[in-house]
Structure 1
Amino acid sequence: MSSSKRVVVSATGEQLPVCRTCGVQYAAPRADCPICLDERQYVGWEGQRWTTLAELRAAGHRGRVEEEGPAVVGVGAVPSVGVGQRALLIRSPSGNVLWDCVGYLDDELGAEIEALGGISAIAVSHPHFYGVMTEWGRAFDAPVYINEADRDWVARPDPLIEYWTGDTRPIAPGMTLINAGTHFAGGTVLHWADDPEGGGALFSGDIFMVVMDRRWVSFMYSIPNFIPERPSTVRRALELVEPFEFERIYGGFWGRVVRADGSAAVRRSADRYLRFVEDGDH
């Protein structure tokens, strides 16, 4: 993207409905949010409520851009939107990749990202983090990578969305998507082999959930409703990431980062998880 190009949120995008509970934008008004009706999410206690990007901006929401790690910039909103996740701008010499998405975008936030080099591609881990991904993709003319298994959850389809299949998919030099399959069938993590520290990094969203004790991750089918992931699914995920080495793990929320020994952290976390959900005697 040219540095002289002004990022503009489309007039259509400003007015399309955004679910207040999950922050996902839909292509047209509707009565309900299927993502929130699913047992992995929830309908807000006040019932289904909607907003728009224009309403969020008018209410005082603004972008938040802060460093989260070497060549990794967190992108979110203040106050937060939906479930409160932040996206991550991976600043690579071959082109920036936006990992995950948020339920907010305005011209000022877009200009900040443009000043950091723009976005060459977007990849999203699972439906709870779709946010306004179509609007982000259009603003930067960037493909949006979604695993085929989660196609039916996409709330605002667009030709920019690329559905991928298989266990892995390279999307840029040194960057590989992995269909770990926890949380959602299309649940995806991203491995960055060329991070500046040289040890590799894994971007996991909620697929491998970095917990409060940031030496560990966990594996949940439903996070808000505390439904654990199936052991067979966790084992498959572990097998798929085993060939990839990484020091850092970037979770889905501000500050949720495993800063060292990430590959071992996933292995020991999976061992602990499986021991507790299978044995019955701890």
Structure 2
Amino acid sequence: MNGNDNKLKMCTECGTQYPESHTDNTCIICEDERQAVPQSGQSWTSHEKLLEKHSVEIKKINDNLYEFVVNPRFSIGQRALFVISEDGNILWDCIPLLDEGVIEFIKSKGGLKTIAISHPHYYSIMKMWAETFTCKIYIHEKDKEWVVNGGNSVEYWKGDHMKLWNQIRLHNIGGHFDGSSVIEIPWMSEKGTLLIGDT
């Protein structure tokens, strides 16, 4: 993890991390009507401070799927799902915490090939995750305006579908945001599996 990224300000309400160039006191994601600024006003923390009292909890769902959540709960309570696949592992959505425990766990399972995100409420600290694992971030181009700290790892995909590998596909179906997407994993269960964020 980059020490400088650890000190970047993070919105306490939605968990989005902003770059050093962001000097005002607003979070564009919370100012949007689909989220909310707390009645007490906008407030900020840092990943470094968050690490002092929080950790990533890892829950096994099945042999190829794990859930990551921040414990105790932080911001809007995002969860990320870690998909283990033969030709590369995927993080579906992102959480605003990255600690040594989850880093070592992911490495023990073969690392991380890409991060794919359903919609802007899961952007959180995606840049830090991508740089830690030297991987790409796939976001639908319709949600490009909401990316505030993606770095060079973000790749915007277009259209209704995007093929990844091992029959895994992203589908843009709209909903919460125009770019809201789901991920299809046909082999994960008898009838196939959809991971849907909150679409």
TM-score (norm 1): 0.68
| Structure 2 Cα separation of the partners of residues 10 and 141 of structure 1 | 12
CA contact (8 A) 2:7 2:46 kept: yes
Equivalent residue in structure 2 for 1:57, among 51, 54, 59: 51
Partner of 2:11: 19
| Structure 2 Cα separation of the partners of residues 106 and 13 of structure 1 | 13
Partner of 1:159: 152
| Structure 2 Cα separation of the partners of residues 130 and 69 of structure 1 | 25
How far off is 1:131 after superposition? 1.2
Q: Which moved more, 1:102-111 or 1:157-166?
A: 102-111
Aligned CA RMSD, in angstroms, stands at: 1.2
How far off is 1:93 after superposition? 1.3
1:81 partnered with 2:74: yes
Residue identity in the other structure for 2:194: L
Structure 2: 5+ residue stretches without partners: none
Residue identity in the other structure for 1:12: N
Partner of 1:10: 2
1:124 partnered with 2:114: no
CA contact (8 A) 1:121 1:144 kept: yes
How far off is 1:129 after superposition? 0.9
CA contact (8 A) 2:86 2:166 kept: no
1:185 partnered with 2:178: yes
How far off is 1:164 after superposition? 0.5
CA contact (8 A) 2:126 2:150 kept: no
Q: Alignment identity in percent?
A: 36
Q: Which runs of 4+ in 1 moved over 3 A?
A: none
- Give secondary structure in 2 for the equivalent of 1:57: helix
How far off is 1:70 after superposition? 4.3
The structure with the largest alpha-carbon Rg is 1
Partner of 2:42: 48
User: Where does 1:171-250 land on structure 2 (aligned, <5 Å)?
Assistant: 171-195=164-188, 197-207=189-199
Residue identity in the other structure for 1:46: S
